């Protein structure tokens, strides 16, 4: 059994194709949950992002969606064994077939992003990492339908893919209100995190460097994730 230990919960990731890494740690720490009450996690995987956001807002109710059955069961069990279980609802459903009665003031997703890349021999990993089952244009389109007027949609993508989909997001009525550039090291841009809204706001630009040139984590990264890591980072 593969358990990833956080400070206040554990995540079993034995049967999930995509394991917890820096992307999850960063994204879960940066999603703004202040003032939010009803959230949707698209493609929850192990459920780690929902657990992280639930920890920071104990009033937040989160619905999670996962199409892959093993990942869904794992997320459901991870929720049950955490003290945040009352905030979390796991659903085994295709996002494109999901039709809730209410809209959400927070939607977030770490989507399948290796678009047009070589596929693995592992079908579960393909489902988690490729956008065949959930094309990014469909993700933005449906997220727009499910988001409240004052809500925010957060997504993390490779930096090249992120820029490609900005025009499409605008066509769905989205405004980019936050853009965070994530550098693996000082000169290595690897990801972009964006927050989108249907209401125009002043765009906030920022960046974060994960590791220093010596391979150790930056103070900024350690401070950002300090409430999650079970062990102290070097």
CATH number for the segment(s) 3-174:
3.40.50.150
Give every residue of the chain whose pLDDT is below 50, as ranges. 114-131
Identify the pLDDT of residue 93: 96
pLDDT at 41: 98
pLDDT of 133 reads: 57
Tokens of 220: 């900024």
Q: What is the structure's pLDDT at 129? A: 43
Distance of CA 64 to the CA centre of its chain: 11
> Hunting for tokens 């070589």 — which residue is that?
118
Range list of H helices, 31-175: 48-56, 69-80, 123-129, 136-146, 159-164, 166-171
| Contact predicate 100/27, CB 8 Å | no
Instruction: Quote the pTM value.
Output: 0.90
3-state secondary structure of 112: coil
Pick from 198, 194, 100: which is nearest to 151 by CA?
198
2-42 pLDDT per residue, tens: 899 999 999 999 987 778 989 999 999 999 999 999 999 99
Contact indicator for 26, 208 with CB cutoff of 8 Å: yes
Output the pLDDT for position 16. 77
Report residue 69 CA to chain centroid gap. 19
């Amino acid at each position: 059994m593969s358990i990833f230990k956080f400070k206040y919960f554990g995540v079993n990731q034995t049967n999930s194709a995509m394991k917890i890494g820096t992307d999850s740690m960063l994204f879960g720490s940066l999603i703004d949950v202040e003032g939010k009450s009803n959230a949707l996690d698209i493609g929850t995987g192990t459920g780690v992002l929902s657990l992280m956001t639930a920890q920071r807002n104990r009033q937040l109710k989160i619905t999670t969606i996962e199409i892959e059955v093993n990942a869904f069961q794992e997320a459901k069990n991870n929720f049950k064994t955490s003290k945040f279980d009352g905030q979390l609802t796991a659903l085994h459903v295709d996002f494109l077939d999901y039709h809730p009665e209410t809209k959400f003031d927070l939607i977030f997703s770490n989507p399948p992003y290796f678009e047009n890349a070589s596929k693995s021999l592992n079908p579960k990993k393909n489902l988690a990492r490729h956008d065949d089952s959930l094309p990014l244009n469909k993700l933005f389109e449906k997220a727009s339908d499910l988001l409240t007027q004052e809500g925010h949609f957060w997504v993390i993508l490779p930096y090249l893919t992120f820029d490609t989909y900005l025009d499409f997001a605008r066509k769905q009525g989205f405004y980019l209100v936050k853009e965070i550039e994530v550098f693996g090291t000082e000169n290595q841009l690897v990801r972009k995190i964006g927050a989108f809204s249907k209401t125009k706001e002043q765009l906030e630009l920022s960046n974060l460097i994960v590791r220093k040139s010596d391979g150790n984590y930056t103070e900024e990264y350690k401070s950002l994730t300090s409430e999650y890591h079970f062990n102290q980072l070097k």
